[in-house]
Every structure is written in C-alpha cells, then in structure tokens.
Structure 1
Amino acid sequence: MSLRMLLRGAGLGLVALATMGQSLPPPPQVLFGPLFEAVQAARIYPDSKTFADATPREAPDAVMAAWRAERPQGADALRAFVERHFVVPAQPGAKPSLREHIAALWPQLTRPAFTPPPGSSALAMPEPYVVPGGRFREIYYWDSYFTMLGLKADGQDRLITGMLDDFDSLVARYGFVPNGTRTYYLGRSQPPFLALMADLDPRHDAVTAARHLAALKAEHAFWMKGAAAARQSGAAARVVRMPDGSLLNRYWDDAPGPRDESWAEDVATARTSGRPVAEVYKDLRAGAESGWDYSSRWLADPARLDTIRTTQIVPVDLNSLLWAQEQAIARRCAAAGDKACAADFAAQAAARGRAIQRWLWLPGEGRFADWDRERRAPTPRVSAATLYPLFVGLATPAQASAVARLVSAQLLAPGGLRTTPLRTGQQWDDPNGWAPLQWIAHQGLARYGQVDLAATIARRWLATVAAAYDETGKMLEKYDVETHAPGGGGEYPLQDGFGWTNGVTRAFLEKYGG
C-alpha cells in the first residue's frame, strides 16, 4: 500500500494537498525503512515515539548508507549506531545520557560575537565561540582544541569555523593567541595547538588556507622571538640554547608582576619564597602559560609552590607541539606552492626533532623528559607530558613501546591517566586526571599500535566521567582518577561546565559507545 493510500485511510485530510501537486514529507518509517523497523522491533527505547522523534545528524541517505555498511547486530550495537547518527530525545523524567547532556551544554557555553565596552578587560571576538564554563567566562587557547573535538562529533562545524576565525583574528591583532581573551592575558600564550585546530576546519578553500598559514607563521615567529639573543646569552624570552647550540623553547610571560587574575595568591607565594619577587612572578606566569598551573613539573620542592622555576625548564610537550607546528607550516607552504618556505620549515622541524631526541629522551628510563637548564640534565619528574612525542608522531616505535610500559607502570590509574605519580596538593598532580591528557595519551598510543592501552585509558576515563555525572549531574574541569570522583587541589574551587571535558568525552563516546 502506498504512503498516499495510508494517509487517506487514516483520514488525515492530506489528500487534497497531494492532489494539488504538493509533495508530502515522508515519516521516519519511510525515510529509514529497515533501520526504523530494526530499532522499533528491538525496543531499545521503551517508548516507540522516542526514535520516531529522533533527529538525524546527517542527511537520511548518508545515515542509510552507514546502516547498510555496518549492519549492527544486537541491541547494544544498534543503540550505539543510533546514538552516533541521531540526536535522541531524552525520556521524560529521566536523566539525560552523557551524549544528550553534552549536546545540551553547547548552547549554554556558546557566546555571541562581542565588542567590549571601554574599560572592560575583555577582548573583542568577531564570531561566536565556546567558553569552558564556571569562572572561565572567555575563550581559552589550548582548551579550545579539545572542545572542538566534541563539536566535530556533534556536527557543530559552524562553531568550529567561527572559533578558528576568532583565533586567526587574535593572531592578526596581537601576533599570537593569548592565554585567554582578556587584556591581562596579553603577556602570554598557551600550548600551541593552532595548527592542529586548523586541521579540524571543514573549509578547504584557498582564502581560508592562506589565512590559517599566515596565522601559523606569525605564531611561530612569536615563539621564536629572541632566538638570536638566546644564541649569545643562553636564553631569551621563549627560546633556549641547549648545550650543543641547538635551540628549543620554554614557557614564558612578557608581562611583569603578579597575575591580575591571581594577584593576592601570587603576592602570598612570592612573600614566602625567600627569592626575588620578580623572579617568582615570572615563574608563576610562565607556569600559567604552560596550562599546567600548577604541577610538580615546575617545582624544585614538590611540596612548595614558592620553589617554582618554570623558566628554567625546557618542556617536552611545548617542543613536541612546535615540531608539529613546523611540520604543518612546511606542509601548508608546499600546498601553496611556496617551495622555499616549505624547505625552511621542514629544516627547522628536523633540527628541533634532533634536539628533542638528543636532550629530552632518556633511554635508560624509557621516557621523554623535561630538561633543567640550571642542572644541565633532565628533570626527575615523570609526567603525562612524556606522551606528547607519540601524539605528534615524533617518537620511534621502540620509544613508543618503552613509553607505553612506563605509562602502564606509573601513570595508569583505575579511572584513567594520572597527570604525575606525585601527590602534592597541586591540581596538575596525582590524584587528578585531565581530559586533554587522556586524549593526548589515547591518540599517541593508538598511533603506535598500542591500541589496548589506549582503549583502557579511554574507557576508564569514560567510567570516571559517568560516575561523577551520575553523582553530581555535571561535567567537571578535572577528576580524581584514583576514586572515580570529582577532582580537587589548586588555586580555585572545582569548576563545572566544562568545555574540554565535554569535547574529549564526546569524542571517546563516538569511538567507544556509552
């Protein structure tokens, strides 16, 4: 029986419209045929109206092509397929699933294009953007890459392109991407993820590509400013000369004094240090640029924040990201037909890669390490930063295997990946785990064939996030990966929202299901 006959028999009064030449939109049973019947027959949703009201994430033809390719068998596989390809309405009175909750949070965390009034500390943003949440009311640099992973999984391409346009605009105005979009962040940046963000851009036109390339080259110049002086003095701004004369980078902040947003805290830390206060302020600011504010990575005494010495540390994560940036610029220059630029940045990447391998790899310990300029030796701190060379593809297969063994022995926790094995009270130490480091670890290990360990980290992290969500109804900034509970420590109360947790969790749900 045809759809038109069914509608006539149901007495819906639509035949007149059909006979007037207007086509009727087909219902889900017609659009999705065998998929619809399989879902309803399996009763994966107790109320049959639930799937009938679901919204496809792609065009129906694309959904059905995926259905024919995958042919999921069993209720669990069928539900996972549906939740990848449809937005399923929440059941009345039921707590939304993690997927549903994250999808509902994007509009809450989105802010419109913005021009600040005179005297405001906020910076102008030409396009809508996503903030982390809680006390973080502006966009933050490295957070946004991990947020974008979830936006990509949820089909929010327009927000991704808007945020990329905002970042390109910031580079055009200031020469770099600041830590966050406040005037008091204009002395520092954050881990340089812009090249990786640009790879998420769904646009592939020449104008957009040229704008991204210009932004990446300007950002690289920002990080390398001071290279000539460093060759003479040993260190200048963000550039450090290693013992063999090669150049690597460190975290820094161009502004003096205590941080505006943590003024009282910084003054108190400097007061107890017994060191020149300007030196302490510079190290605190540099630690904030690292994103790991704060961690035993930067402390001479892990129990005392006032022993912070970030500017003396050459970090493996920063240099891995800059190696990836140089590779990306070389690739983009080659695509644009600029052979000289491509050769230049390929050579810079090769030199940096050699320096990382020589100075930051410890074969006896099977890990990549930070380097202490004063001691002229690697630091003793084991941390999740050891996974960055795997994440960007700089490690050898043998190095990746060694790092995987170290991760299993020292960093794998019941609820995901530890940041470090040390309990110090700082928030970037045990027992806390952070969404970005779960992603870095997962992607890096999977890249080198360590798929079981990668999957274990992802699934344990999902279990931790789900347990805290069941308890609190919130997505949190950080988690206790020893007990599957909300995290703690640091300078401020635990924040909820939360951009990068939403993004990484949503990306893991896309791969591993509920």
Structure 2
Amino acid sequence: MPGCAHADPLTPADRYQELFVAVQTGGIFSDSKTFVDAMPRQQPAAILAAYRARSAEPGFDLAAFVHAHFVLPAVPDSCYKSDPKQPLRDHIDALWTVLTRHPAEHPPQGSLLPLPHAYVVPGGRFGELYYWDSYFTMLGLTASGQADLLHCMADNFSYLLDTYGVIPNGTRTYYLSRSQPPVFALMVELFEDHGVRPELAYLPHLRKEYAFWMRGAGHLAPGQACRRVVRLADGSLLNRYWDERDTPREEAFVEDTRTAAASPRSAPEVYRDLRAAAESGWDFSSRWLEPGGGLESIRTTAILPVDLNCLLFKLESKLAELAGVAGDADAPAFRQRAHARRQAIERLMWQEDEGAWFDFDWQQHRLRTNLTAAAAMPLYVEAASATQAARLAGTFAARLLEPGGIATTERVSGEQWDQPNGWAPLQWLAIGGFARYGHQALAHEIAHRWLATVASLYRREYKLVEKYALHPAEEGAVGGGGGEYPLQDGFGWTNGVVRRLLRLHPTHAACHCRAGVRA
C-alpha cells in the first residue's frame, strides 16, 4: 500500500547479536522490552561494529554506549488523563486520540512494523498494534462512532495478512514468529455490521489466516504434531499454540532465561512453551502449568485449548459460508472440517459432570482440571448446544462469578491470568456467550459487576487499567497484579469493552460516574 515503508527483516536479537545479549543481561533497563523497542541513531550494522571495536576497551560504559546510539522509547507512567469533569464514557471517547498512532510516526530500521493506516495501541509499554486486543478495542470504536478509525484498523489487518501471511502477536519484528488467538473472523463480522466492507471481500484474507494455523496438517499421521496442528490417535485434527522460535522472547529475555534455568527440561523446550503461551494471549496462567508447579513447569504446546479450537471452528464456518456465496468448490470441505472440529471439541473437552469445557492434554491423553473463563468461547462462537449452555451458566455462576465480574480461573498462582484478576475480553466473551443462548440475567449480572468495578477505580484514580482485582478492597476496586511487568494504564481493550457495555446498559451508574464522585 502507498506510504508504507519496508520493515527491518531482522529482529533486534538477530540484528545486534552479542550487543543485544549484553544489554539484556546487563541490568541497564528494568524492562526487557525497552531495548528491543529502541530506535538506532545510525545504521544498525555500524552500531554493532562500533560495539565490537570498543567493548573490550578498559572502562567501557555499556549504558553510555546504548544511550549514545539509540533513542529509547518514551513509556508514560500514567498520562491517559483528560478533563476531570468528564464522565467515564466521555473519558474513553477522548482516549482514542491519545492511543492512536499514525504511519508517519513509524521511523525506519527499528523493530516496529510499518502499517499503512492509523491504528489504536493498548497503552503504557504496549505502543504497537496487538492482534486480539484490537477486536475488543474495536467494539468500543463502534460505540464511540469512530467509523473512520475502524476502517483503518480493518485495512491494517488485511495488509498484515497480505504482507506476512499472518497477523502477528503485535507489530514488532520480534513478534513475527507467532500470532495470537485468531479472532479475524469475528472482526470481519464486525466490519460488515458497521459498514466497513462486505464480508466476502475478506475471503482471501480468511484463507490466508487459516493456511497459517493449519500449516503442516496435510501430512500428519495419527499421534503426530506439526507446528500448531495435532492429529490425535482417532484421526481428529485440532490445534495448539506454538512459536517458530525456541529462544528466549526478546521482549522478556531476562525473565525467560531465568525461568528456563529453573526447569529440569531443556531450555529450548521451555522457551517454546513460554512463547506459545504468549501466542495464546494468556501469558501467563496456571492453565499452561503442571498442577501446583511454577512457571518453569509450563507445557503450553502439550495442550489443546478449548477457546483456540472454537475460534478455528468459527473460522472454518465463516470460510464455508463465504466460499459458498462465492461459488468456490471447497465450501463443502470447510463445512465438513468445522463439523468435525465441533464434534472433537465436544467429545474431548466437554465434561458433563462439571458442566463445562476444559482444555485437553494431547500428550497425556487427558482433560486438564483447571476451570477457566475460556469455557465461555463455545457459546460466543455458537458451538454449544442449548443444554450445554444452561449447564455452563450454572457452573460459571457457582464457581467463577466474583463480586467484580467473571474470574479468569479458580487458582491463585501469582501469574496475571489467574485469581484474583479479571480481564475485559473475558468479561465480554462471557456476557456475549450467555446472551446468545438466552441467559440474559447472568449476562446482565456479569456486565453490571464489571462496570461497577471499572467505575469504582475510575472514580478514585481517574483511569482505566489493563486488568482488575475482582475481590474489591475496602476502599473500592483496585488494579490487578502479578505477571512480568507493572500494571498498565490506558487501556485499549478495557476502554473498548467498557464503552460498548455503557451503550448496552445506558441506565447503569457507571455511565455517569466521574472522578472523585461517589455513586
């Protein structure tokens, strides 16, 4: 597309080699993401050559060298504040401009992947476009009347599929080895519903996303796996999360090397599983760990996630529908694949005794026992029966419904995708899923509790954050904890989900809440 510069083909680790390792292990920055997002002040090859020539000199100052040769990213601690007289809804509407980035701001030779159109970032340390975050962000754009920005986001995702054959985790070179939960089919429906472009226009892009997730499937024998595809002993074809690399994540280099050092498994195996969990978006959670184990026990690639496979059921169903409209000969094949996947999900992942879906460990041939909010995804993509939806409603109400919304899991692990944290995307999936199956009271209750949580923190601290603790403190809601980095303000998907819910629940007290004003 015109005006879109070429990306650097190498990641920072590839580009800067021993300089990269020295910086990431040298304690110069508290956040491993800082250096990989930095911009070189001259040609990268010249910087590496200068480092090699000078690093052995007596008194060499690595920190000074880095500051002299790179422009470091400016990450705000908390700058997402507008007029304190604004109610929450208007505050969110004002944030879209703050969180929007433009192609003209994409400098060359860094890790940032150029895009042809404006886009919305999550905020804080996350200053690039993220894949599955953006679906939930775009829900809010529709509620705010941001049609032009929604159109730009749609064209950017099409561009990524056309250029790279994948929508990467985020628009950085170090993210190109993995994707995120494949929600593009959900985006396509949103685009059509809001007049961006007819769904049929995206058929080529949906095919490209499917090809990425199914690469290697054609030659798998029962019991074999290749990249993101697993063929089980009974011939069922399901998917897992993966990453093309088995090295430490560049944006979490120190953290990953520390985790691998604590594991009895080989370091490349641990790195792959850490990267695969990052592809899941749930980085990190007891969902991927051995029961009772820490992060060093991670086994993401051994797990067939229920939500991933439901999203691929949705993708196959959408491909069947649109290919049929286009008169393509492969429409029946996509329909059959969607049917087979749905049967496999029900056969392997539905636990009748507990009234819920669980992830499946394909290496140990057993269900995982960790109930998570991912169990709402079969409802959201309409892969459940009415009976299953009713059973799940009872299970969620009894086991995952907290004072602040739907819990991520039932376990406290210290990881951010576990108790006590709640996340905006999981609230939306549960609300939407139960509403689609007629469980309006539960959907309403989740929405009510989540909006109250967000409004409580907004009144006291005048901001929205990435995640929230669902067990409110005495003084009101607090931001969530755990994970590899401090709580981030902004925040894209929280803004999006809350803005959409405010439109759907116009009488909720959150619609009128203001900073410092109690309900």
TM interval, shorter chain, is 0.7 to 0.9
Q: List per-residue Cα deviations over 1:428-462 (Å, max 9, x = no partner).
A: 00100000000000010011111101100001000
Superposition deviation, residue 207 in structure 1: 7.9
Correspondence for 2:502: 509
Q: Give the whole-Å Cα distance in 2 for the aligned partners of 1:234 and 1:180.
A: 29
Correspondence for 2:335: 346
Does 2:89 align with 1:99?
Answer: yes
Q: List per-residue Cα deviations over 1:89-123 (Å, max 9, x = no partner).
A: xxx98531110100000000011125744421011
Question: Contact 2:285/2:418 (CA < 8 Å) preserved in 1?
Answer: yes
CA shift in 2, pair 1:153/1:204, >3 Å: closer
CA shift in 2, pair 1:457/1:508, >3 Å: same
Equivalent residue letter for 2:269: E
CA shift in 2, pair 1:502/1:302, >3 Å: farther
Q: List per-residue Cα deviations over 1:38-63 (Å, max 9, x = no partner).
A: xxxxxxxxxxxxxxxxxxxxxxxxxx
Does 2:360 align with 1:371?
Answer: yes
Q: List per-residue Cα deviations over 1:169-195 (Å, max 9, x = no partner).
A: 000111110000000000000000101
| Cα RMSD, aligned residues only | 1.7
SS of match in other structure, 2:155: helix
Question: Contact 1:115/1:125 (CA < 8 Å) preserved in 2?
Answer: no
CA shift in 2, pair 1:143/1:239, >3 Å: same
Does 2:376 align with 1:387?
Answer: yes
Superposition deviation, residue 314 in structure 1: 0.3
Q: Give the whole-Å Cα distance in 2 for the aligned partners of 1:93 and 1:170.
A: 36
Q: Give the whole-Å Cα distance in 2 for the aligned partners of 1:454 and 1:386.
A: 15
Question: Contact 1:115/1:123 (CA < 8 Å) preserved in 2?
Answer: no
Correspondence for 1:42: none
Question: Contact 1:416/1:481 (CA < 8 Å) preserved in 2?
Answer: yes
CA shift in 2, pair 1:498/1:204, >3 Å: closer
TM-score of the two chains, using structure 2 as the length reference: 0.79
Superposition deviation, residue 256 in structure 1: 2.3
Does 2:469 align with 1:477?
Answer: no
Correspondence for 2:309: 319
CA shift in 2, pair 1:140/1:205, >3 Å: closer
Q: Give the whole-Å Cα distance in 2 for the aligned partners of 1:138 and 1:204.
A: 24
Q: Give the whole-Å Cα distance in 2 for the aligned partners of 1:152 and 1:465.
A: 20
SS of match in other structure, 2:230: strand
Equivalent residue letter for 2:268: A
Question: Contact 2:246/2:269 (CA < 8 Å) preserved in 1?
Answer: no
Q: List per-residue Cα deviations over 1:217-236 (Å, max 9, x = no partner).
A: 01001000021343355111
CA shift in 2, pair 1:211/1:423, >3 Å: same
CA shift in 2, pair 1:398/1:202, >3 Å: closer
Shifted more, 132-141 versus 301-310: the winner is 301-310
Correspondence for 1:244: 234
Q: How does 1:350-365 map to 2 (within 5 A)?
A: 350-365=339-354
Correspondence for 1:492: 485
Correspondence for 2:259: 269
Does 2:436 align with 1:436?
Answer: no
Q: How does 1:45-444 map to 2 (within 5 A)?
A: 95-114=85-104, 116-202=106-192, 209-231=199-221, 234-338=224-328, 340-444=329-433
SS of match in other structure, 2:399: helix
Q: Give the whole-Å Cα distance in 1 for the aligned partners of 2:188 and 2:177.
A: 23
Q: Give the whole-Å Cα distance in 1 for the aligned partners of 2:274 and 2:490.
A: 26
Question: Contact 1:419/1:429 (CA < 8 Å) preserved in 2?
Answer: yes
Superposition deviation, residue 335 in structure 1: 2.3
Q: Give the whole-Å Cα distance in 2 for the aligned partners of 1:288 and 1:95.
A: 38
Question: Contact 1:225/1:238 (CA < 8 Å) preserved in 2?
Answer: yes
CA shift in 2, pair 1:204/1:413, >3 Å: closer
Q: Give the whole-Å Cα distance in 2 for the aligned partners of 1:442 and 1:116.
A: 37
Q: Which runs of 4+ in 1 moved over 4 A?
A: 202-211
- Unaligned runs of 5+ residues in structure 2 are 1-81, 512-519
SS of match in other structure, 2:190: coil
Q: Give the whole-Å Cα distance in 2 for the aligned partners of 1:115 and 1:497.
A: 20
Shifted more, 179-188 versus 373-382: the winner is 373-382
Percentage of identical aligned residues: 52
TM-score of the two chains, using structure 1 as the length reference: 0.80
Question: Contact 1:436/1:500 (CA < 8 Å) preserved in 2?
Answer: yes
Q: Give the whole-Å Cα distance in 2 for the aligned partners of 1:301 and 1:497.
A: 34
CA shift in 2, pair 1:399/1:232, >3 Å: closer
Superposition deviation, residue 345 in structure 1: 1.1
Equivalent residue letter for 1:508: L
CA shift in 2, pair 1:309/1:447, >3 Å: same
Question: Contact 1:316/1:370 (CA < 8 Å) preserved in 2?
Answer: yes
CA shift in 2, pair 1:358/1:93, >3 Å: closer
CA shift in 2, pair 1:162/1:207, >3 Å: closer
Equivalent residue letter for 1:382: L
Superposition deviation, residue 302 in structure 1: 3.9
CA shift in 2, pair 1:327/1:421, >3 Å: same
Aligned length: 422
Correspondence for 1:31: none
Higher share of residues assigned helix? 1
Equivalent residue letter for 2:164: Y
Determine which structure has more spread, i.e. the larger CA radius of gyration.
Answer: 1
CA shift in 2, pair 1:203/1:352, >3 Å: closer
Shifted more, 341-350 versus 164-173: the winner is 341-350
Q: Give the whole-Å Cα distance in 1 for the aligned partners of 2:494 and 2:353.
A: 35
Q: Give the whole-Å Cα distance in 2 for the aligned partners of 1:384 and 1:255.
A: 28
Q: Give the whole-Å Cα distance in 2 for the aligned partners of 1:162 and 1:480.
A: 33
Correspondence for 2:75: none
